[in-house]
Amino acid sequence: MTTDTASPPMILTPEGWHDVHLLDSGHGRKLEQVGPYRFIRPEMQAIWPPALDETEWQKADGEFIASAANKSSDEDGGKWKLSPNLPPQWPVQYDGIGFMAMPTPFRHLGFFPEQSAHWQWCAERCRDFSRQHGRPPKVLNLFGYTGVASLHAAYNGAEVTHVDSSKKAIAQAFENRKQARLDDAPIRFITEDARSFVKREMRRERFYDGVILDPPKYGRGVKGEVWRMEEDISPLLADIASILSDEACFVVLTSYAIRSSFLSLHHLMAHHMADRMGNSGGNVTSGELAVKETNPRHFRIGQAIFARWQG
């Protein structure tokens, strides 16, 4: 007989967005509003018919056309077909923070709106930490991409170290900081391989009160280091556990490799945080991040799986 220690999955959908909406989905696509512009992107989970009339889809300002090899998968290969009137980037806002949206070569739009469920949760942990300990929490954002999670955490009182191996992503994070008018926010931007950075922090005995990590399925570091999610996430999480402060309050792990189950991340997080849960009564929760249609049907589409440890 075995005991299943995983709690029921949570299905988290973003709240509070005024600039971003999932208007419709179906026939392997989704129709989104991002600021004043509409986009069509592939969505293999949308196996149902669309709810809106085709004329609504024809108003799109851009569509990502998946390559023939990637039409039946979540891989990023393909190209954008964009209106000539679409600017290279444009401002959007969430929870008082402005940043830039833009079509990227990887079918994304420069940020992930479903992640706002984590931003809000981390913000609550940060505010609670400051009240309890009388100081700002030190938060590490690994694979930080264009920095919206870092900006939101800093806006809510954290001192943030933002790490990404892409110089282009770091440059966009600086642009987003300027757009958010948070130039004086306590954020360190570091261009480095996430694993190398954490190893260095271990040697220096630098500790963090919260960690956000959203690793890709596959990637390369600044010096050509190869990252493979299935092979590298467990050793990285073990190292992260060793640089958590005695007062640490959260670790958030998100994965877009949705062929996996949320259970895989749940048990991985529970394994590496076992000592902390035993000592402080912390807990692990897990589930899916989803987006919900704004049409009357309100279908939801899972975008990523996650596990969160709360101290």
Tens place of pLDDT per residue across the chain (311 aa): 344 455 789 999 999 999 999 999 999 999 999 999 999 999 999 999 999 999 999 999 999 999 875 554 556 689 999 999 999 999 999 999 999 999 999 899 999 999 999 999 999 999 999 999 999 999 999 999 999 999 999 999 999 999 999 999 999 999 999 999 999 999 999 999 999 999 999 999 999 999 999 999 988 888 888 889 889 999 999 999 999 999 999 999 999 976 678 999 999 999 999 988 765 568 999 999 999 999 999 999 999 999 999 98
Q: Which of 73, 89, 105 is the last residue of a domain?
A: 89
152 belongs to a structural domain: yes
Label residue 80 exposed, middle or buried (CB < 10 Å: 0-12, 13-18, 19+): middle
Tokens 């001192």 map to which residue?
159
Domain shared by 71 and 175, yes or no = no
Closest CA to 149 of 41, 4, 250, 227: 250
Domain shared by 295 and 188, yes or no = yes
CATH of the domain at 133: 3.40.50.150
Contact 35, 100 (CB under 8 A): no
What's the CA dihedral at 264, 266, 267, 270 to 10 degrees? Answer: 160
Domain shared by 178 and 83, yes or no = no
Domain shared by 159 and 28, yes or no = no
Determine the 3-state secondary structure of 31 from DSSP: strand
Residue 19 DSSP one-character state = S
The full DSSP string for 202-248 is HHHT--BSEEEE---SEEE-TT--EEEHHHHHHHHHHHHHHTB-TT-
Closest CA to 210 of 118, 278, 285: 118
96 belongs to a structural domain: no
Domain shared by 39 and 150, yes or no = no
* pLDDT value of position 47: 97
Domain shared by 126 and 81, yes or no = no
User: Does the global pTM surpass 0.75?
Assistant: yes
Domain shared by 68 and 128, yes or no = no
Q: 220: domain range?
A: 113-310
What's the CA dihedral at 244, 246, 252, 257 to 10 degrees? Answer: 40
* pLDDT value of position 224: 83
Domain shared by 122 and 221, yes or no = yes
Q: How far from each other are the two terminal CA atoms of the chain, in whole angstroms?
A: 29
| 294: amino acid identity, one letter | T
Determine the 3-state secondary structure of 305 from DSSP: strand
76 belongs to a structural domain: yes
Closest CA to 175 of 222, 122, 112, 110: 110
Residue 191 DSSP one-character state = E
Tokens 């509070």 map to which residue?
16
Domain shared by 28 and 155, yes or no = no
Q: Cα separation of 235 and 244, whole Å?
A: 15
Q: Report the domain count for the chain.
A: 2
The two structure tokens encoding residue 297 = 């049907």
* pLDDT value of position 1: 36
Domain shared by 61 and 200, yes or no = no
Q: Cα separation of 220 and 203, whole Å?
A: 23
Contact 305, 286 (CB under 8 A): yes
* pLDDT value of position 222: 81
220 belongs to a structural domain: yes
* pLDDT value of position 4: 47
CATH of the domain at 49: 2.60.40.1180
Tokens 């954020």 map to which residue?
187
Tell me the torsion sign for CA atoms 14, 94, 97, 60: positive
Domain shared by 172 and 118, yes or no = yes
* pLDDT value of position 223: 83
| Percent of the chain that is helix, strand, coil (3-state, to 5) | 30, 30, 40
Domain shared by 69 and 211, yes or no = no
Label residue 131 exposed, middle or buried (CB < 10 Å: 0-12, 13-18, 19+): exposed
